[in-house]
Amino acid sequence: MWTADEIAKLCYERFHELPRRGKPEPGREWTLLAAVVKLTQHVNTGKVEKEVVSLGTGTKCIGHTAMSSNGDVLNDSHAEVIARRGCIRYLTQELNRAVCGQHSLVFCQADQQGKWRLQPGVSFLFFTSHTPCGDASIIPMTNSQSQPCPPVRPVKPPEGTDEGIDRGGNLKRKAKEPSDGRNIKLPRLEEQETEEKKPKNRGDTKQPESSTSNTDESEDPPQSDVAETPAESPQVPDVHRTGAKCVPGGPADLLHPGAGYHSAGALRVKPGRGEPTLSLSCSDKLARWGVLGFQGALLSHYLRDALYFGAVVVGKCPYSREVMRRAVVTRCSHVSDLPAGFLLCPPALLQSGLEFPCSQAQTELQHQAGQGRISPCGAAISWCNVTEQPLDVTANGYKHGVTKKALGTAKARSLLCKVELFHSFLSLVSATDPSLLPNSLRGKELHSYWDYKQASQSYQQAWQQLRDQAFPLWPRSDRGLLLFH
Ligand SMILES: [Zn+2]
């Protein structure tokens, strides 16, 4: 089989093999990594072959005013989203092979008109070097090592500053309040050290779950029933924070000191450069992929069943499996009445003990005086296992290094942007022999990206159920931004 460490190692190695372009400057810049790994279990031997089919890095997200109605900008460049979009490119190529009668290692013909299914033994898992932003990041803090932010103060952070484009609210707050944060952080750490010298199990305080390992078993389990009484004393002194804000119209964060800072379970939007974005947090997107699949509306035309990640593996970082489960599984686990082809199949949640060498923590360790302030890397790298142009490096939603003059032209587009993914889908449709065309694409006048997405009926029905039953506050996409073709 495979272990979480093997998966992490494989993904870090794949990243290491990529060219320098778009990679963080060692010791000064950091980034986040995510990947989709294909697993192939061989029928006879039982042996599992692992292959990274898509990899993404990135920490940024553009604000709503920078969005384009031509579908030519990448709105969300968090590593998870880049990895998933690269995977769509990969799946489109494999479907292309399949419809052209070439052998695909991923798909084989299903028993329905124009539909395909995974080859026997093939499955996918998702790797991320870090806990996804949003709900999964609201983790109880347990020790000073994993305490990257200053103590919580009951004030609303100022809005509209240009910080917070990174995934974690932790760094964002630190960056926002440089002197302030430093001054108040010190006593906090001292206080924590004193805490740690006290006997570990004081009877009246339940030890919060470890935030750095995935073991459920505490070495000192609570000794008495008293320990289970929540009213005795606060169970967690503080939580890690996320920079993602609750979506409008629902419960807001209470911003109370300590563990009461955030509302748990809420949908959140990513912070952008000085303005709110319309991109949901990675926790929310993973939860959505857990119900609708990660193939998206377009490829659903061709697939009998939605594609789900069998596991989500997180690299070494602050992590809580309990919180992760709430964020990506439990929030949707009651959803019912899904159309055929969709099912709730919760991924296994695992953590590796191996840290990404370009993580924020590793960068801080390698940082040397005179190198300048540590910051998240501005570029996003996508690599996926396709024959044409597997590498796609972007910054601010466009191809990395394009001139201002070229912005808005096809040359400046990322291969992962909506219009490019749409065009590769249209190539798949034209490569499909009319007799093999899925029913949902037959006899219809479809023109725009919006039309093709709406025509994916089962997917839209599943989305409606998910929205009604679990995420009524999920912002509706602006149709005006999706009418390109
Ligand atoms: Zn994210």
Q: Report the separation in Å between the CA atom of 33 and the middle of ligand 1, taken as the mean of its atom positions.
A: 10
Alpha-carbon gap, residue 142 to 148, rounded angstroms: 12
What pLDDT shows up at residue 161? 37
What pLDDT shows up at residue 443? 87
Mean pLDDT by 10 residues, the chain (485 residues): 96 98 97 98 93 98 88 95 98 97 95 96 98 95 49 39 38 36 33 35 36 37 38 62 88 87 91 83 98 98 98 97 97 97 95 97 94 95 98 96 88 96 98 95 94 98 98 93 93
Judge whether 296 and 418 are in contact, CB under 8 Å.
Answer: no
Q: Report the separation in Å between the CA atom of 422 and the middle of ligand 1, taken as the mean of its atom positions.
A: 23
Can 355 be counted among the known catalytic residues?
no
**One of 25, 51, 80, 445 is an active-site residue; which one?**
80
What pLDDT shows up at residue 260? 87
What pLDDT shows up at residue 143? 53
Q: Report the separation in Å between the CA atom of 167 and the middle of ligand 1, taken as the mean of its atom positions.
A: 5
What pLDDT shows up at residue 142? 72
Q: Report the separation in Å between the CA atom of 80 and the middle of ligand 1, taken as the mean of its atom positions.
A: 7
Length of the chain: 485
What pLDDT shows up at residue 236? 52
Q: Report the separation in Å between the CA atom of 327 and the middle of ligand 1, taken as the mean of its atom positions.
A: 13
Q: Report the separation in Å between the CA atom of 289 and the middle of ligand 1, taken as the mean of its atom positions.
A: 14
Q: Report the separation in Å between the CA atom of 137 and the middle of ligand 1, taken as the mean of its atom positions.
A: 10
Neighbours of 34 (CB within 10 A): 27
For the question of whether the overall pTM of this predicted structure is more than 0.75, the answer is yes
Neighbours of 33 (CB within 10 A): 27
